Amino acid sequence: MKKRILIIEDEKALRETLEDYLREDGFDVKIAMDGEIGMNLIKEEEFDLIVLDIILPKKDGFKILEEVKEDEKRKNIPVIILTNLESVEDIQKAFERGVTNYLVKSDHSLIEVSEKIKKILKI
Amino acid sequence: MKFINDLNLRKQAENLGVKIWQTPGFLFIILGLVAAIIMAATYFISKNYDSPQVLVISESIVATVILAVGSSIINLFEQVARINKMKSEFVSVASHQLRTPISAIKWSAELLLEKYNKGLSKKQISDVKNIFDLVCKMNRLVSDLLDVTRIDQNRMIFRKKKFDFKKIVKETINESSILAEKRNIEVNASFKKEMSLGFGDPDKIKLVVENLLSNAIKYTPSGGKVDIRLFEKDHFFVFEIKDTGVGIPEEQLKRVFEKFFRSDNAARYQTEGTGLGLYIAKNIIEQSGGKIWFNSIEDIGSVFSFSLPCHNGKMAEIMKA
């Protein structure tokens, strides 16, 4: 069974490159270009992991993270935040809300992101 | 104009980005001269006209002039400070805006190289590799600029934790082995088997080691040597890196840790480089409770060293507090 990953990211080029890369690495990848679409997908479908940007149209990443963690059925889905925000406040806020990992986009290559995901999913 | 040079007004004007007559130093001189002239005038007036009104009037003129010149000095300072803040904010905002497109280019090139390289010719692959390498450099430059604005605005945040310093040094040497090989530089390192843990922010310390090592490799002519030593002394680590590189001209030794400084011979030898690495390194090391210093002789080489608290020393206790 392929592991299902949801990417919520509004920047087209970043979303597409990550999507293609993970698909090539053997994941079943779904994408959402804003927070609302992302949240709906989370409710309607099942995912093994969520990759989440913070600044998103319609609903921001922190709000989505909160909703996932408050949902009894979904609170165990690992969430990785992938953003270019890197203030200590944001990082703290994310970990307080139960994020599994916090990655800064410009500090990570695709292979590194993919490896972090595999590590979390124990692949 | 000799006295202008002596008082360094020209330098002050250059540093502040204002005209010489606008520098605080010049305005102070004017203030002094005006005060002296008016005092003298007051003295003569009071001698010739035996009237208290004249004295009072002339004294209030002195006070007004002093106030006027003084307030223009304050205004100028405010203006310079405001411009400085704006500049720093501009760099910060611009760098942040650059990060997303840079990440996107970097990831696209990586995807092409790693997953979609089938059917690409050697030439095409080497072109994409160039794009990838250059965008990585841009990414590094933007990170450096952001670090500098954080340092300048006192916003750089340090994690405080125990970490394996020896491991960081080894990792960095491994990561730069491609660059060293390409430039035909021999990198040697010596460590003791058992070493204490360091205390501070491992990512930031790694950045310092990376900066020092890449400088040593970049500014050493082909066939040269870089020697790294790591040892402990009185609950401090000492990291030392010695190269057989171009060195720093004696008259420029004092400016090595200045922001954007690059020595004349370094700029001639290597066109790349921003002059930010050592400025950032110095700030990181000092904020981590250590010191950074160097010796350098032009055309012979440089030795850069820094100290860093061990986790079991007094300094680490102070830093924890």
Q: pLDDT tens across B170-202, in order?
A: 999 999 998 899 999 999 998 887 888 889 899
Same domain, B232 and B276: yes
Give yes or no for residue B4 having a pLDDT over 60.
no
- Whether residues B104 and A20 touch (CB distance < 8 A) is answered with no
Same domain, B39 and B108: yes
Structural domain count of chain A: 1
The CATH number assigned to the domain holding A17 equals: 3.40.50.2300
Structural domain count of chain B: 2
Mean pLDDT across the stretch B199-217?
Answer: 92
pLDDT of residue B36: 84
Same domain, B234 and B282: yes
Same domain, B114 and B179: no
Longest dimension (CA), chain A: 38
Q: What is the mean pLDDT of chain B?
A: 85
Q: What is the pLDDT of residues B61-120, one digit of tens each?
A: 878 888 887 888 888 888 888 887 888 778 778 877 889 999 999 999 999 999 999 889
pLDDT of residue A54: 93
Integer CA distances (angstroms), A67 to A71, A79, B58, B266, in order = 6, 12, 75, 55
3-state SS record for B4-29: HHHCCHHHHHHHHCCCHHHCHHHHHH
Same domain, B241 and B146: no
Task: Kindly list the residues from chain B whose CB atom is less than 8 angstroms away from the CB atom of residue A106.
Answer: 99, 102-103, 106, 139, 142-143
Which candidate from A17, A24, A87 shows the least CB-CB separation from B107? A17
ipTM above 0.95, yes or no: no
Q: Measured between CA atoms, how close is A39 to chain B, in angstroms?
A: 23
Same domain, B13 and B71: yes
Confidence bin at A76 (pLDDT 50/70/90) = very high
Range of the domain at B170: 161-320
Same domain, B107 and B208: no
Give yes or no for residue B319 having a pLDDT over 80.
no
Predicted model pTM: 0.72
Same domain, B120 and B170: no
Range of the domain at A56: 4-120
Same domain, B122 and B21: yes
Same domain, B103 and B239: no
- Last residue of one domain, picked from the residues B156, B178, B205: B156
Same domain, B166 and B280: yes
Confidence bin at B5 (pLDDT 50/70/90) = low
Q: What is the pLDDT of residues B257-267, one digit of tens each?
A: 998 888 888 77
Same domain, B134 and B202: no
Which candidate from B103, B108, B115 shows the least CB-CB separation from A24? B115
The CATH number assigned to the domain holding B250 equals: 3.30.565.10
